[in-house]
């Protein structure tokens, strides 16, 4: 809350996802591609295979352009965007890992210099020196992964660091080793996939077949490392983080398993066009392979970012930059006092600092539609109880007055007509809508924190009592503040739960 807030209509999550997935897809290739070049060059030199050496030279041009231009630009873009989206978390990472960053950048400079010398050295250097420079490139590139892997894994599993504050505990944290091996596997896989693009353009059919076979071997070896190390990685994440994510975000957690379909696709296509009929390799196949690789690796990164919710640094800082250690301070004095840059509209400032990191008003994960047709007090209760909703949100630690200011801010911008008018429904249908808006975000029928058991088979009197006492069930649960029409419709709907037509709703 020490930084001004960058309020764009763009979604923070999407911006981050697009830029970072592009960057990791390139930067892991930058490492694996180096290994591919030196290993293949060694073989080609031994066999005096000039056609292969020519192909490698072409590949190294493609490699230089992709890694140095796109890799470096997207890397800078990440710094730019995390500084805008979450300056507080960026500050924590820079502050604690300043030497690690310095070391990482040193390796990066060595990597860039070696890549340039390697490319221009094809004709100018002796075979031995050229290969040596290739190995320097790969070594520096992999070491930069080693360093940055410590920082990225720290954000998900800071491990003993949370208690000891010792930077080595944070760096060599519980997911450090599995992630390092996993990412090394990804590097090898991507080297094979990218090289298919260059191989597919080859006019010499015998050369194409030889390179396709080699590329497929890289791809398959990469996958053979990726699959088991993912399980190792999964095991290393504390069980409560996984259990929490599975309970509050089942759909996100399912996508990581669904993404294994990409692996099946990769294995099949690599075997078919790499080993069975490598001469038939063409650009379409190469593009399919790249897309499947991007799809798989993108899902992994999405999983990694999701599983640490509601935190940006587990147990240390929430996704909205609020520090866990300041819980007591916020609970006592509220949030406003700690917001350094104020616009004069307290409701807007609070909304931005507390909710806006993950939600927009009306774009991605929009909040205005979620609060159509409800009253200000209800929105305020939902703000106070956001921890109990599905979605794995940080607890609200501000004062009741601040929750009301957020309620007012959102209420003033959303559609305030009656639910029956907005959705043109009445009776049971209206009741279902009321349930969705006023109960369903914390109690999904047949899903998250389902309360159907307690809601089935009551009589009218019991239902009325239940709604009258709603706010007393739990601190997070709102009072029922809908009008009489909504109350009657909700009760009509509650009576259908578990019945035939209720099940169909």
Binding footprint of ligand HEC on the chain (CB under 6 A): 309-310, 319-320, 354-355, 357-359, 365, 367, 370, 382-383, 385-386, 388-389, 391, 393-394, 396, 438-439, 441-443, 449, 451, 454-455, 470, 473-474, 476-478, 480
| Shortest reach from residue 350's CB to ligand HEC, in Å | 8
Quick one: 33 or 394, whose CB is closer to ligand HEC? Answer: 394
**Which residues pair with residue 311 across a beta bridge?**
318
- How many CA atoms are closer than 13 Å to the CA of 448, on its beta-carbon side? 21
Name the token pair of 309.
Answer: 């919710």
Q: By C-beta, is 193 or 367 nearer to ligand HEC?
A: 367
Token pair for 278: 């490598």
Tokens 């099946």 identify what position?
264
Q: What is the dihedral of CA 152, 153, 158, 159, to 10 degrees?
A: -170
Instruction: Give the 3-state secondary structure of residue 11.
Output: coil
Alpha-carbon 106 to chain mean position? 28
Task: Quote the tokens at residue 45.
Answer: 């030199």
Q: Among residues 89 and 439, whose Cβ is nearest to ligand HEC? A: 439
Q: CA-CA distance, 12 to 17, in Å (whole number)?
A: 8
Which residue's CB is nearer to ligand HEC, number 41 or number 305?
A: 305
- By beta-carbon proximity to ligand HEC, the closer residue of 220 and 437 is 437
Phi then psi dihedrals of residue 465, to 5 deg: -60, -45
* Min CB(351)–ligand HEC separation in Å: 7
Task: Output the smallest distance, CB 249 to ligand HEC, in A.
Answer: 7
Least spacing, CB of residue 455 vs ligand HEC, in Å: 6
Query: Are 227 and 263 a contacting pair, CB within 8 Å?
Result: yes
34 vs 394, beta carbon nearer ligand HEC: 394
Q: 222 or 478, CB closer to ligand HEC?
A: 478
Residue 415 C-beta: closest distance to ligand HEC, Å = 14
In the complex, what is the shortest distance from the CB of residue 359 to ligand HEC, in angstroms, rounded to a whole number? 5
Six token digits for residue 134:
């290739």
Contact 34, 315 (CB under 8 A): no
Q: How far is the CB of 322 from ligand HEC (least distance, A)?
A: 9
Alpha-carbon span 121 to 168, nearest angstrom: 39
d(CA 323, CA 311): 9
How far is 63 from 83, CA to CA, in rounded Å? Answer: 29
Quote the least distance from Cβ 246 to ligand HEC, whole Å.
14
> Considering beta carbons, is residue 87 or 391 the nearer one to ligand HEC?
391
Residue 379 CB, nearest approach to ligand HEC (Å): 7
Q: Rounded to a whole number, what is the distance in angstroms from the first to the last CA of the chain?
A: 43
**For the residues of 191-213, what is the DSSP string, one character each?**
HHHHHHHHHHT-S-HHHHHHHHH
Give the nearest distance from C-beta 297 to ligand HEC in angstroms: 22
Q: Which is nearer to ligand HEC, 273 or 378 (CB)?
A: 378
Residue whose CB is less far from ligand HEC, 80 or 473: 473
CB of 313 to ligand HEC, least distance (A): 12
Identify the residue whose tokens are 């320097």.
Answer: 136
* Residue carrying the six token digits 């075979």: 127
**For ligand HEC, which residue has the nearest CB?**
391
Closer Cβ to ligand HEC, 180 or 455, answer by number: 455
CA distance 62 to 66: 6
- Residue (148 or 393) nearer to ligand HEC, CB: 393
CA gap 64, 30 in Å, rounded: 9
C-alpha 89/C-alpha 234 separation (Å) is: 24
Q: Which of 291, 284, 292 is nearest to 266 (CA)?
A: 292
Smallest gap from residue 475 Cβ to ligand HEC (A)? 7
Closest CA to 194 of 286, 260, 302: 286
Nearest to 301 by CA among 11, 16, 21: 21
């Amino acid at each position: 809350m020490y930084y001004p807030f960058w309020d764009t209509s763009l979604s923070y999550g999407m911006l981050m996802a697009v830029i970072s997935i592009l960057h990791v897809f390139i930067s892991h290739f930058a490492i694996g591609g180096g290994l591919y070049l030196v290993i293949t060059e060694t073989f080609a030199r031994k066999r005096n295979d000039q056609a292969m050496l020519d192909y490698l030279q072409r590949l190294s041009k493609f490699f230089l352009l992709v890694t140095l231009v796109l890799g470096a630009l997207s890397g800078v873009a990440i710094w730019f965007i995390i500084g805008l989206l979450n300056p507080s978390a960026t500050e924590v990472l820079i502050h604690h890992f300043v030497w690690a960053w310095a070391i990482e950048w040193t390796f990066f400079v060595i990597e860039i210099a070696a890549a340039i010398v390697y490319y221009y050295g094809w004709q100018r250097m002796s075979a031995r020196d050229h290969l040596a420079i290739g190995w320097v490139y790969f070594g520096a590139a992999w070491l930069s992964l080693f360093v940055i892997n410590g920082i990225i894994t720290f954000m998900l599993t800071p491990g003993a660091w949370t208690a000891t504050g010792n930077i080595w505990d944070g760096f060599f944290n519980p997911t450090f080793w599995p992630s390092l091996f996993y990412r090394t596997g990804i590097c090898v896989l991507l080297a094979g996939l990218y090289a298919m693009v260059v191989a597919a353009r080859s006019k010499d059919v015998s050369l194409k077949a030889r390179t396709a076979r080699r590329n497929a071997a890289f791809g398959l070896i990469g996958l053979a490392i990726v699959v088991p190390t993912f399980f190792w990685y999964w095991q290393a994440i504390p069980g409560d983080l996984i259990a929490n994510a599975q309970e509050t975000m089942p759909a996100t957690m399912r996508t990581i398993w669904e993404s294994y379909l990409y692996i099946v696709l990769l294995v099949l296509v690599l075997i078919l066009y790499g080993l069975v009929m490598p001469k038939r390799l063409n650009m379409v196949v190469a593009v399919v392979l790249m897309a499947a690789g991007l799809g798989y690796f993108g899902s992994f990164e999405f999983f990694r970012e999701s599983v640490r919710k509601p935190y940006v640094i587990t147990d240390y800082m929430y996704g909205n930059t609020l520090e866990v250690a300041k819980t007591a301070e916020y609970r006592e004095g509220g949030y406003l006092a700690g917001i350094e840059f104020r616009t004069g509209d307290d409701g807007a400032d609070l909304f931005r600092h507390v909710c806006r990191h993950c939600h927009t008003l009306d774009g991605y994960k929009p909040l205005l539609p979620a609060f159509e047709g409800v009253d200000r007090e209800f929105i305020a209760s939902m703000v106070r109880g956001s921890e109990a909703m599905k979605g794995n949100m940080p607890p609200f630690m501000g004062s009741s007055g601040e929750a009301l200011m957020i309620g007012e801010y959102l209420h003033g911008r959303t559609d305030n007509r009656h639910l029956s008018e907005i959705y043109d429904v009445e009776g049971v249908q209206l009741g279902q809508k009321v349930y969705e808006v006023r109960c369903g975000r914390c109690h999904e029928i047949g899903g998250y924190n389902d309360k159907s058991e307690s809601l089935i088979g009551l009589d009218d009197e019991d239902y009325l009592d239940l709604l009258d006492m709603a706010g007393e069930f739990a601190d997070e649960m709102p009072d029922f503040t809908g009008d009489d029409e909504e109350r009657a419709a909700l009760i009509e709907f509650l009576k259908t739960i578990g019945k035939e037509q209720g099940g169909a709703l």
